[in-house]
Structure 1
Amino acid sequence: MSTCHAFKSNDEALTMQRSNAWQPSATMDVLRQRAALLAAIREFFAARDVLEVDTPLLGQFAVTDVHLDNLRTQISGAAQPYFLQTSPEYAMKRLLSAGSGSIYQLGKVFRDDELSSRHNPEFTMLEWYRLDFTAAQLMQEINELMQYVSDAPAAVSISYQQLFIDQLGVDPLADDAVGQLRDALSSYSSLADLVHREDDRDLLLDLAMATVIEPQLNPKQPTFVTHYPVSQAALAQVNPEDPRTALRFELFYGGLELANGYQELTDAGEQQLRFERDNQRRNSSGKLKAVPDVRLLAALEQGLPDCSGVALGVDRLLMVLLNQSEIEKVLPFAIDRA
């Protein structure tokens, strides 16, 4: 009798789940504010004469970045798989090489990653490229966008190196950075066993950034972290003032990483070498190698104009603006309701 009752309870719970699954993840008020944010973004770029473009969601090439994985699908009659794009970057750079001028895109992208309160496999990205902009000029424009769509205070900037020195007492660019990182992170009980088995500097840096440093950033102060190690900037120019670093930056606000930007690499040969290094790292980490996008390389050979570009997570920005801690609360339908 008790067993039957248990089955009945489970059936009722399943019925309840199914009955609610048709409903939106976000409230109608949030969806109106979402629409207002998208409209404001378009107004911002229209006033600056930046062209909106719309590139394919499906492509024949996956990214080589060791930190990203594409969702893939098979099209009837096609010999090769197609990949849902993690970013419109490669297609947008092909447009830039074809003479588009400064451009932006506001649309969906996809990443095969673990579900979390801040990640949905399908999400909305704002990506834009400004011709003849330095990374510093692009950061200023991001700052202006943030103030246009919200009451965010002006952003501050700090170098990646200085941030690690200030918050962890480690110089991430030093020759003995691995030893410094192991010593510093071993004081955290949850990390001690892991760090002593790891000798990859970039993995240790990523671990330190995600678990120790990011949580210490002031959530009420937009903060640009600049000049990442060159090994962590596959699509950025090397910093001519310090070749250990690249002209890459990230924006943090509200406890979230919101944007990732570069002063873009334009050298096709160097890009090819970086694709190969990415694949070596993918192989070492047990991931499948990715065929480099030969059409991007051809576009770079044709000539990518000097530019800087950035990708900004719109859903995460809305989370910050509306003080929401879960990404599903700002999406019309999160993945479990798709």
Structure 2
Amino acid sequence: MSDSNIGGEASILEERRRKLEELREQNIAFVNNFTPANKAQELHDSYGHLNKEELEDKKITNLSVAGRIVLKRVMGNASFVTIRDGSGDIQAYISKNNIDPDLYKNFKSWDLGDIIGIDGNLFKTKTEELTVEANSIVLITKSLRPMPEKHKGLADIEIKYRQRYLDLMSSPDSKEIFVKRSQIVSSIRASMIEDGFLEVETPMMHSIPGGAVAKPFITQHNALDRELFLRIAPELHLKRLLVGGFEKVFEINRSFRNEGLSTRHNPEFTMLEFYAAFATFDGTIDFTKNIIQSASAAIGNNDEIQWDDDKIDLSNFSIKTLNNLVLEHNPELSIDDLTNLEMLTSYLKSLKVPFKESWGPGKILLEIFEKTVENKLIQPTFVTEYPVEVSPLSRRNNENPAIADRFELFIGGKEIANGFCELNDPDDQAERFKDQAKAKADGDDEAMGFDEDYIIALEHGMPPAVGVGIGIDRLVMMLTNQSSIRDVILFPQLKS
């Protein structure tokens, strides 16, 4: 911000504080006894279709609205203002002939950003704009700081994210994104409950990091004098509930991963995780697809949506194996190469991807997939047959124990969901935990710990089940056509 802008804002602040002090002296600052009976959008929906004469015949009187002044035109003895409430904008006509002249004189000094209340009647202007004709007005909240300029908006993207209230105040489009986010989450919740799932809550502080391969945030519990970890994923607690006898559970949860910031990553994010005992792999793929299609329809989308430069057809989901996709996009490789550690290592080096000597063929194959295939999966694609090596909580496939009964859903080149048949063999799970613990001891910050209590739970017997995690933030990005995760999180993490 330039020095002139700083000086200008300081002058505005000083002037508005003077006005506030006058209100304080009259004991009318920060009024708290005005309750509007009507919303702007409700009035538009109910009466916007009527013409001027039809509305006059209706005689819509005794309305009350409240909102922030976003536009003001003072014209001598009469003025127009546009106020914005939680639903939208409505114009008001304020005349010296209809309200107390002294009040009208005071009104002329009210500022953009002030929150006011209006009682009056409804009419349409000569230009057919729906308008409230005021017979009473009140200044409810004095705004001390100026709103962002109407036509420039928030040019500074940093301010947009750091002071989200200014973004929401000045940009109906931004506000609409978060309204749609709420509708998407409501649709997801409705889909789960309709299918018989029970919504539950699990801890956000864990004694052992687990449920996903990611670096955790670490905190300290002073009273217990022990280290705790912010939840990476709720998976292991949700599966304990399957052991306990719940057969269908879900949680719309906040999870935390100590990773970098990007247009696709925020260290605090929202996920849907659900687990269904006795469910089938193919049936869960269909259910996941239906959740996404229903959420899209809930915000008024058609089957074909736009996400950045891509047109995506949400009526058509394909299923492809990881091996076949790697071969399709890397013609230099053969099917035999995909299990050859030496060949895979050499090929990964040629792609200039950093790697660790401790990685096995499954991990290297996944790195090749992420480097050469993932961003090309534009249309909805369920990728199946992941290596067990990179699926520490997934059940092995009966026919091929080297792969897991697992899928990931990619749309627009981004991972949207991850699901698999759950590993319920306690001995197999214990061995995989040991592998994770070894990787952690060897310096892998993202490896899981050994959760002995979870092994004990599995030893009591967990029914066969399928579990899925869906990234809500990325799903909202896709369904509302946003390029950055910061545009769908109200208060994203930012660099200092």
Instruction: Give the distance between the partners of 2:273 and 2:369, measured in 1 at CA.
Output: 24
Q: Give runs of aligned pairs for residues 279-298 of structure 1, distance below 5 A.
A: 279-287=437-445, 291-298=449-456
Q: 1:61 aligns to what? A: 208
In the alignment, structure 1 residue 249 sits paired with structure 2 residue 407: yes
Distance 1:115 1:175, change over 3 A: closer
> Aligned match of 2:323 in 153, 161, 164?
161
Q: Give runs of aligned pairs for residues 195-274 of structure 1, distance below 5 A.
A: 200-217=360-377, 219=378, 221-274=379-432
Is contact 2:252–2:270 with CA below 8 Å preserved after alignment? yes
Q: Give runs of aligned pairs for residues 323-334 of structure 1, distance below 5 A.
A: 323-334=481-492
Distance 1:121 1:179, change over 3 A: same
Post-superposition offset of 1:291:
4.0
Is contact 1:198–1:204 with CA below 8 Å preserved after alignment? no
Q: 1:181 aligns to what? A: 344
Deviations 1:162-220 (A, max 9, x none): 111211133577575334334544554xx17x579896434432331222111222x1x
Q: What amino acid does structure 2 have at the position aligned with 1:127?
A: E
Q: Percent identical across equivalent pairs? A: 30
Q: 1:105 aligns to what? A: 251
Q: What amino acid does structure 2 have at the position aligned with 1:153?
A: S
Instruction: Give the distance between the partners of 1:250 and 1:288, measured in 2 at CA.
Output: 19
Q: 1:83 aligns to what? A: 229
Distance 1:309 1:33, change over 3 A: same
Q: What amino acid does structure 1 have at the position aligned with 2:196?
A: D
Instruction: Give the distance between the partners of 1:270 and 1:157, measured in 2 at CA.
Output: 28
Distance 1:37 1:337, change over 3 A: farther
CA RMSD of aligned residues (A): 3.0
Is contact 2:211–2:235 with CA below 8 Å preserved after alignment? no
In the alignment, structure 1 residue 51 sits paired with structure 2 residue 192: no
Instruction: Give the distance between the partners of 1:18 and 1:143, measured in 2 at CA.
Output: 37
Instruction: Give the distance between the partners of 1:172 and 1:114, measured in 2 at CA.
Output: 34
Q: SS at the partner of 2:416?
A: strand
Instruction: Give the distance between the partners of 1:20 and 1:40, measured in 2 at CA.
Output: 26
Deviations 1:86-128 (A, max 9, x none): 1110110111111112111112111111111101011000000
Is contact 1:279–1:289 with CA below 8 Å preserved after alignment? yes
Instruction: Give the distance between the partners of 2:410 and 2:446, measured in 1 at CA.
Output: 30
Q: SS at the partner of 1:305?
A: coil
TM-score normalised to the size of structure 1?
Answer: 0.86
Instruction: Give the distance between the partners of 2:275 and 2:394, measured in 1 at CA.
Output: 13
Instruction: Give the distance between the partners of 2:372 and 2:492, measured in 1 at CA.
Output: 29
Distance 1:268 1:200, change over 3 A: closer
Q: SS at the partner of 1:130?
A: strand
Post-superposition offset of 1:223:
0.4
Q: What amino acid does structure 2 have at the position aligned with 1:35?
A: S
| Greater RCO (CA < 8 Å, at least 6 residues apart) | 1
Is contact 2:162–2:491 with CA below 8 Å preserved after alignment? no
> Aligned match of 2:286 in 118, 140, 149?
140
Note the residue ranges of structure 2 that are not aligned, 5 or more in a row.
11-155, 169-173, 297-302, 304-313
Distance 1:95 1:172, change over 3 A: farther
Q: What amino acid does structure 2 have at the position aligned with 1:327?
A: I
In the alignment, structure 1 residue 149 sits paired with structure 2 residue 295: yes
TM-score normalised to the size of structure 2?
Answer: 0.60
- Structure with the bigger percentage of strand: 2
Q: 1:3 aligns to what? A: none
Instruction: Give the distance between the partners of 1:20 and 1:227, measured in 2 at CA.
Output: 39
Q: SS at the partner of 2:403?
A: coil
Distance 1:120 1:175, change over 3 A: closer
Instruction: Give the distance between the partners of 1:323 and 1:110, measured in 2 at CA.
Output: 24
Q: What amino acid does structure 2 have at the position aligned with 1:180?
A: M
- Structure with the bigger percentage of helix: 1
Post-superposition offset of 1:145:
1.2
